[in-house]
Amino acid sequence: MSEAFPNIPKIPFEGPQSKNPLAFKHYDANQVVAGKKMKEHFRFAVAYWHAMRNSLADPFGVGTAQRPWDDGSDSVDNAKRRVWACFEFMDKLGVDYYCFHDRDVAPEGKTLAESHSNLDAVADELLKAQQATGKKLLWGTACLFAHPRYNQGAATSPNAHVFAYAAAQVKKAIEVTHRLGGEGYTFWGGREGYATLWNTDIKREVDHLAAFLHMAVEHKKKIGFKGPFYIEPKPREPSTHQYDSDAAACLNFLREHGLMEHFKLNLETNHATLAGHSMWHEMEVAAAAGVLGSVDANTGDELIGWDTDQFPTDIYLTTKMMLVLLRTGGFTTGGLNFDAKVRRESFEPVDLFHAHIGGMDAFARGLKIADAIRRDGRWDQFRSARYSTFDSGIGAKIEAGTTNFEELEAFALANGEPVIASGRQEMLENLINEFV
């Protein structure tokens, strides 16, 4: 097969002085920062659905993307050609991982059996490409939102036949992920929510979703798939309300239904924005619960109000994200998956490179800055000192759970008015700016 990106060489690292748009200025895969190679910190992944399948259509216009290797047909042959285009792209970019939905890589057939066999055929090709290049699957997932049968949900559809169909699709997708050595498996419930409460029984739908996920866990054990399951929160779009609306809602759902030990969260920046949170907040919430699994790295336009899935280029954003990751020890099975699309106006193949290079460089800068902040130590020290009244005396007893209201009342009566310290927000913001 001829090259998909014939005029583009492997992207080199040229350092901050370089003016070459097709070079990394900060991302140097093997450079060690905070005890690990950059590539091991990030575990970057290409999102197959955006890089290979997004035609760049929007609600007001057709797709604009020029993808010369793709003949636009729904054939398995075309799907196989696309596999090699994707792996060439990853290779030239120096990204080790990819993520896919079943229907991104292989066409849906006329029957479920035909869809299964299409997926098997393309999975064979993916395996060949993985073996030829050493690239790996970060996670797989099933598309339970595009086909009209899922227009009222999949695991939360009011129709049991649809539920069964979705189960069959997920069963197959987990098996294929396992066969490809996938390191995790993601559930994003784009239509697992409602369009209107006039027709919706929340209790039944959420119980069905839990039953679905329990069966998925059971099946994963049956086939010996060891990777984690991830839930990806998002508040809405395409649904009016998605049940997995944010990290806290996911945690509540997982705990209520006895699923906590089987799931981690896959957090996406733009979804956090839609939920009215910052990505930083979502990551701290997940980290506090010990379930920060993986990240869909993108960013959203603050004004448009959709999941615009833009590439992350904001150094403050990546700095905050890397601060959380460094503190929590970083990814194990997860990574930074560029769930992001080039703009409709950026329709040439080379734009895929500019987009990913920018995202990778932004994270490399974020990592270097976060590491410098941590090595400096003032920020960490301030945060821990702020809680120092809990390190001894009555505070230590509160944390140890060895006191009660009587003792606390006696303490308060004996010790007068508390002396509290300033929160120093502005000082801390200035401190961070010393490093950015």
Closest among 90, 69, 91 to 80, alpha carbons compared = 69
CA geometry: angle at 9 spanning 3 and 14, to 5°? 165
Residue 13 or 187 having the CB closest to Ni ion: 187
Record the tokens describing residue 377, joined without a space: 């130590």
Residue 104 interacting with ligand XLS (CB under 6 A): no
Rounded to whole angstroms, the Cα distance separating 242 from 398 reads: 37
Residue 296 interacting with Ni ion (CB under 5 A): yes
Query: CA of 427: how far to CAs of 128, 315, 379, 424, 431, in Å?
Result: 54, 20, 10, 5, 6
Known active-site residue 96? no
Rounded to whole angstroms, the Cα distance separating 404 from 397 reads: 9
CA 97 to chain centre: 13
Residue 96 or 268 having the CB closest to Ni ion: 268
Residue 175 or 339 having the CB closest to Ni ion: 339
Residue 104 or 339 having the CB closest to Ni ion: 339
141 binds, among Ni ion, ligand XLS, none (CB under 5 to 8 A by kind): ligand XLS
Rounded to whole angstroms, the Cα distance separating 311 from 355 reads: 6
Fill in the DSSP letter of residue 337.
Answer: E
Residue 244 interacting with Ni ion (CB under 5 A): no
Contacts of 22 by beta carbon, 8 Å cutoff, 6+ apart: 8, 9, 11, 350, 353, 354, 357
**From 19-27, 161-169, 183-191, 425-433, span contacting ligand XLS (CB under 6 A):** 183-191
Tell me the closest approach of the beta carbon of residue 49 to ligand XLS, in angstroms. Answer: 6
Known active-site residue 104? yes
Answer for the pair 213, 187: CB distance below 8 angstroms, yes or no: yes
396 φ/ψ angles, rounded to the nearest 5 degrees: -65, -35
Q: Which of 26, 50, 101, 178 is catalytic?
A: 101
Site for ligand XLS in 245-284 (CB under 6 A): 268
Residue 296 interacting with ligand XLS (CB under 6 A): yes
Residue 339 interacting with Ni ion (CB under 5 A): yes
Binding mask 265-284 for Ni ion (x = CB under 5 A): ---x----------------
234, 320, 341, 365: which one binds ligand XLS (CB under 6 A): 234
CA geometry: angle at 221 spanning 151 and 168, to 5°? 25
Residue 268 or 371 having the CB closest to ligand XLS: 268
Q: Which of 91, 96, 102, 104 is catalytic?
A: 104
Residue 205 or 296 having the CB closest to ligand XLS: 296
Residue 244 interacting with ligand XLS (CB under 6 A): no
| Residue with token string 């583009």 | 8
Residue 361 interacting with ligand XLS (CB under 6 A): no
Active site residues: 101, 104
Given the rule CB under 5 A, which residues bind Ni ion? 268, 296, 307, 339
Given the rule CB under 6 A, which residues bind ligand XLS? 101, 141, 186, 188, 190, 232, 234, 268, 296, 307, 339
